[in-house]
Amino acid sequence: MTEETTMPATTATRARPFRRPRLNLTARERLARVVLGATGALLGAALLATGAGTVSSVLEILLVATGLDLLVTGALGHCPLYAKLGYDRRSLRVHP
């Protein structure tokens, strides 16, 4: 009979707590993204239901995907592309 020993969790195996990304969208930009995103996603879904040709179906799927992206980034207030590009709104900067 062998005894199993438990190894203490290392930093590589420990679950890190969820950290919400830093806001990088203004309130106006967030509202515009949510409204336009919801409109685009709903319009794309309605057009997709009509069952037109292949090219139009692909474009409608892209419209739905783009709308959902705008909707999610607006709701979260964080745009990953802005973060990658280093874009920072002056009104969101923290002043010492």
pLDDT at residue number 10: 56
- pLDDT tens per residue across span 32-81: 999 999 999 999 999 888 877 888 889 999 999 999 999 999 999 988 88
How many CB atoms neighbour CB 43 within 10 A?
14
Single-letter amino acid, residue 84 = K
Structure letter (DSSP) for residue 61: H
Question: Angle, nearest 10°, between helix axes 27-49 and 54-76?
Answer: 150
Residue 12: the pLDDT is 59
Query: pLDDT value at position 29?
Result: 92
Which pLDDT tens digit goes with each residue over 7-30?
Answer: 555 555 677 787 777 888 889 999
What is the pTM assigned to this prediction? 0.70
CA-to-CA distance for 85 and 26, rounded, in angstroms?
17
